[in-house]
Homo-oligomer: A and B are copies of this chain.
Amino acid sequence: MRFNVSCELEYNLNSAATFLFALKCIQTGGQNVLEEYVFTEPEVHMEEFHIESGMNRFSRIETFYQGTLSVSYRALVDVSYRIDSAQDLSTGGSGELTPEAIPFLFPSRYCQSDRIRQQANAMFGHLRTPYEIASVVSDWIFENIAYVSGSSGETSSAVDTMETRQGVCRDFAHLGIAFCRALDVPARYATVYAYQLNPPDFHACFEVLIGGWWYIFDPTRLAPLNGLIRIATGRDAADAAVCTIFGDPVLTRSEVFCGLADSGFYPVTRDSLMENQQVIALL
């Protein structure tokens, strides 16, 4: 599918600062950025680089003035998905210990899988395949954690979310990752643009490695799984934040848009009751 995405962020600056943006869609085997524009107001120097084998694209801006900085991005992106039926994934044991998997088995800042291992075993230890684990965990989060805007902050982690039982997409994804890793299922964090997300915003999901593919799970169920455009991938939001700021600027405005540049979109969503459940991997 082809999508138009855009965003505009505005910051208030008081003193010298450095911004590290991850706004741009990344180029992958299955995701192709056809056109892309980035503007700043005022015009400032922007330096781009990749880390972690191209899975993140950072734009660095240094500012030395007081006032306002506005950053706008828009792009036209082709996205391919792998669609499987759940039955086809219902084989294989957990613990895919390939080099690709290993960094995503370790606990990370916001996904303290080491601290929730006992809970994970008590709640999900009876499940056998990575797909079962990921889908039951995702359903459990959807059913038991309340989506409440503003209920969590930058330092909120999976352990906190289990305590407060509320959060936003970032927290839902962190909790899914923490449970999966606690059960030795490799899991990572994806920051995305999301078609049909309402209100439009950046979105976050988690991906689980099954048989060599990273299948995507969205415990918020707020957007179709086949309308996601990848911005950044990482162990958790520490790696894949849309903007990391060194200094004291304050975000004053944020607008995000994701529209269809194609026709014939048939949403694939998760419904725990559905037979022939479809599962999506972003390529």
Contact = CB atoms under 8 A, between A and B. Distances in A.
Interface of A: 18, 20, 49-52, 58, 60, 95, 97, 99, 102-103, 105-109, 111-112, 114-116, 118-119, 121-122, 144, 146, 154-155, 159, 162-166, 184, 238-239, 244, 246
Nearest to A98: B49
A160 to B, nearest CB: 10
Given A109-B112, A165-B122, A246-B184, A51 B97 contact: no
B154 A159 contact: no
Given A51-B99, A97-B60, A163-B159, A244 B118 contact: no
In the complex this chain forms, how many copies of it are found?
4
Contacts of A121: 165
A229 to B, nearest CB: 23
A279 to B, nearest CB: 24
Given A18-B95, A246-B184, A165 B114 contact: no
Contact of A108 (B95, B109, B114): B109
B163 A106 contact: no
Given A108-B108, A159-B163, 8 more contacts: A50-B99, A108-B109, A112-B155, A114-B154, A115-B155, A115-B163, A122-B165, A184-B246
Contacts of A159: 163
A5 to B, nearest CB: 24
7 contacts: A58-B99, A60-B97, A97-B246, A106-B238, A112-B155, A116-B163, A121-B165
Given A114-B155, A118-B163, A20 B103 contact: no
A55 to B, nearest CB: 11
A111 B20 CA distance: 20
A52 B103 contact: yes
A245 to B, nearest CB: 10
Given A20-B102, A108-B108, A108-B109, A118 B52 contact: no
Nearest to A103: B51
A249 to B, nearest CB: 14
Contacts of A118: 146, 163-166
B102 A51 contact: yes
A20 B60 contact: no
A41 B119 CA distance: 35
A109 B115 CA distance: 10
